[in-house]
Amino acid sequence: MHELSIVASIVDSVTETMAAYPGSRVKEVRLRIGALASVIEDSLQFCYGLGTQGTPLEGSTLIVKILPVRMHCDGCTSDVEIASLQSFRCPHCNEPLTDMRQGRELELDSIEIEEVEATV
């Protein structure tokens, strides 16, 4: 359950960013997570609800984009997506794959913020 630590890191970064936007609130937080990043989206969503309470992120929506594992295949001399995480072999030529190009990302991509109208 390191999802809670991950949420804590997200809260820190977003809170830091929000200091530059006084009077705004966070609507959405968007992540890019590699399929091999060992993060389970359900636990992440669950921990997000808990970990954002009492922070500027409270009530915001977490959007997780899962990135498939992409490997470079020497046989095909091109990048291929593996079909299953249980076999690191090229789906075209069966070559064993060792050169990962995508799949371990744990990225905070962007946030959507809403400016709350100033009272005149």
Partner 1 sequence: MTTRIVELRQGILKKNDELARGLRSQFETAGVLVLNLVSSPGTGKTEFLQGTLRELISSGSRAAALVGDLETDNDARRLAASGAPVRQINTHGICHLEAEMVSKHLDGWNLADLDYLFIENVGNLVCPSSYDLGEKIRVALLSVTEGEDKPLKYPTIYNSADVAVITKVDIAEAVGFDRATALKNISEIRPGIRIFETSAKSGVGMAEWLAYLAELRPLR
Burial class (CB in 10 A: 0-12, 13-18, 19+), 54: exposed
Q: Which is nearer to partner 1, 20 or 77 (CB)?
A: 20
Helix, strand, coil distribution of the chain in percent, nearest 5: 20, 35, 40
**Which of partner 1, Zn ion, none is residue 2 near (CB under 5 to 8 Å by kind)?**
partner 1
Q: Which is nearer to partner 1, 38 or 78 (CB)?
A: 38
Give the nearest distance from C-beta 77 to Zn ion in angstroms: 8
Give the nearest distance from C-beta 88 to Zn ion in angstroms: 12
Task: By CB under 5 A, tell whether 91 contacts Zn ion.
Answer: no
Task: By CB under 5 A, tell whether 83 contacts Zn ion.
Answer: no
What is the three-state SS of 85-116? CCCCECCCCCCECCEEEECCCEEEEEEEEEEC
> Helix, strand, or coil here: 13?
helix
Q: Which of 40, 50, 63, 76 binds Zn ion (CB under 5 A)?
A: 76
Task: By CB under 5 A, tell whether 50 contacts Zn ion.
Answer: no
**Which of Zn ion, partner 1, none is residue 74 near (CB under 5 to 8 Å by kind)?**
none
d(CA 37, CA 26): 25
